[in-house]
Amino acid sequence: MAAEKLILFLVDDDDMYLQVLKHHIEKKFEAIVHTYTTSEICLTNLHLNPDIIILDYALNSVYHDAMDGVAMLKEINKRNIGKEKEVYTVMLTKQDDVQVAVDTMKNGAYDYIIKGPTADKRLEIVISNIRKQIIMKKNLQEAQAMKKVMFLVALFILAISMGLYFLYPRLNQ
């Protein structure tokens, strides 16, 4: 994972905020960051396989008919089913409403962060935790793959041994 950079999508209808956040995350995590001002544009780019999507709840200040953050979460969850790589979603919003937070978490958000003076630090912690989870999952997958290879090697050695045992009975005396 050390050689692989995190791929993050930032989705917010405030372009200035997006650029500041993008700069901060790229500097802090040496990540590849893509920014989108609507959920719809972001969804068309899911083929870039982001590790993390950080999105605002209210995404309709510029485009009034734009999909909100919870609708986007639902769509990401639909597209995430059965995929090998999980996409972690974090809601970063001004919405200081418990019901919105509950709905967000019920719909699969990894975390809910309220924009404010401590949001940047909290976001750093969340991204670090997600990075650790990604690394642990990758290490687990590699260990499981190695276990399968070792099992096949053991079967191969056993088959060779059994073949030699039956083909050359004089060696058994």
pTM above 0.85, yes or no: no
**Judging by DSSP bridges, how do beta strands 111-114 and 88-93 pair with one another?**
parallel
pLDDT digits (tens, 9 = 90+) for 67-87: 888 888 888 888 876 566 789
Band (167; pLDDT cuts 50, 70, 90): confident
